[in-house]
């Protein structure tokens, strides 16, 4: 990774001042997403009267990723930014970088896996990015992105392993606590770790008594393994419906924040994702991708109980899924649907997506 974007060898933790500076950069650019009641989306027997969702699918670009991408790009010197930006991404980061680049008037190239969903590739293209496909792994995408940077002089925009990205994503946590001072439990999805690190940092710095729980797919337990080992662990491969959360290793900078501010981590089976997506659609009128629904799924499955001494918030990370994908999830051969390794959720291949 180029030195200009490499995380520090010993990551320092993002400060409250850095989070507030990112919020100032994003003012008028990113949507301040609301808190919406989630009670009707929870099953009988679960007290949902004080459970809320923060729907980042309502963010520009369809997911939380614009927060970090725009903060990073805006912090570059104009002459450096003008050389163009390059982003390796499984999907949502690519769209966010494409949007941020368009807003700032600079060219963007995004490197996505050959298994990228049609919705996410089309989103990046609609936003003006040049799309390249490279393999199926994080390493494949990073290697190709670095080749493009070396050839063009562009700037690599890391998806999660950088303090500026963490600070940008953490603005969702600032909003959450400011809008709901009585929050006592926050559930946040864990992919590469940028969102979970940023949200946990913001929540703990503003409300130290609030518990923060990371939620990751059972087929991609990179934070669970890292916490057991005391350091990031490379999983070799991951698989599951939640394609945005299938990183094979937690980022080093995010992990330092997780160790400081995340109280617990739980894993959710694929089978719980479609019912959570359906509940959010039917009861809250919110369209989520599988990754976005994972926090509500953890509550619905009883893996985490709502707070008894205050409010609970589930961060819904995104909703970049289109009609064919929804049909595949809800109307698959088994009544639930599975994601095919060859494309979107609605493909005929009945196997979860795999990352290596």
Q: Which residues are catalytic?
A: 65, 317
Find, among 196, 176, 175, 195, the residue nearest to 184 by Cα.
176
Q: Which residue has the tokens 């450096």?
A: 80
Collapsing DSSP to helix, strand or coil, 2 comes out as coil
Joined together, the tokens standing for residue 191 give 């992919």
d(CA 314, CA 52) in angstroms, rounded, equals 6
Given the DSSP bridges, would you call strands 183-189 and 311-316 parallel, antiparallel or unpaired? parallel
- Give one DSSP letter per residue of 273-338, joined into a string: HHHHHHHHHHHH-----GGGGHHHHHHHTTSSPPPSSSEEEEEE-B----HHHHHHHHSSTTSS--
d(CA 138, CA 120) in angstroms, rounded, equals 16
Collapsing DSSP to helix, strand or coil, 192 comes out as coil
């Amino acid at each position: 990774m180029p030195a200009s974007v490499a995380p520090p060898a010993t990551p320092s933790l993002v400060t409250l001042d850095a989070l507030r500076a990112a919020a100032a950069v994003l003012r008028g650019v990113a949507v301040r997403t609301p808190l919406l009641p989630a009670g009707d989306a929870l099953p009988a027997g679960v007290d949902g009267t004080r459970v809320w969702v923060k729907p980042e699918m309502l963010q520009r670009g369809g997911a939380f990723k614009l927060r970090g991408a725009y903060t990073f790009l805006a912090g570059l010197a104009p002459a450096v930014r003008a050389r163009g930006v390059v982003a390796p991404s499984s999907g949502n980061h690519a769209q966010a970088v494409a949007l941020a680049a368009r807003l700032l008037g600079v060219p963007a190239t995004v490197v996505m896996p050959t298994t990228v969903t049609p919705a996410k590739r089309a989103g990046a293209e609609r936003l003006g990015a040049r799309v390249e496909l490279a393999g199926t792994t994080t390493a494949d995408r990073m290697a190709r992105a670095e080749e493009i940077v070396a050839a063009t002089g562009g700037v690599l925009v890391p998806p999660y392993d950088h303090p500026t990205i963490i600070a940008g994503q953490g603005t969702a946590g600032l909003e959450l606590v400011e809008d709901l001072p009585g929050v006592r439990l926050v559930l946040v999805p864990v992919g590469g770790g940028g969102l979970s690190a940023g949200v946990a940092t913001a929540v703990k710095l503003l409300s130290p008594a609030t518990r923060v729980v990371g939620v990751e797919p059972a087929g991609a337990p990179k934070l669970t393994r890292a916490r057991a080992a005391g350091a990031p662990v490379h999983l070799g491969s991951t698989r599951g419906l939640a394609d945005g959360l299938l990183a094979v290793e937690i980022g080093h900078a995010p992990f330092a924040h997780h160790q400081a501010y995340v109280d617990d981590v739980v894993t959710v089976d694929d089978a719980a994702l479609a019912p959570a997506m359906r509940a959010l659609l039917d009861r809250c009128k919110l369209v989520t991708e599988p990754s976005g629904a994972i926090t509500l799924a953890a509550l619905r499955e009883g893996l985490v109980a709502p707070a008894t001494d205050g409010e609970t918030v589930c961060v819904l990370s995104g909703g970049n899924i289109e009609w064919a994908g929804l049909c595949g999830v809800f109307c698959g051969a088994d009544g639930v649907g599975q994601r095919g390794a060859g494309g979107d959720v609605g493909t005929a291949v009945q196997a979860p997506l795999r990352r290596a």
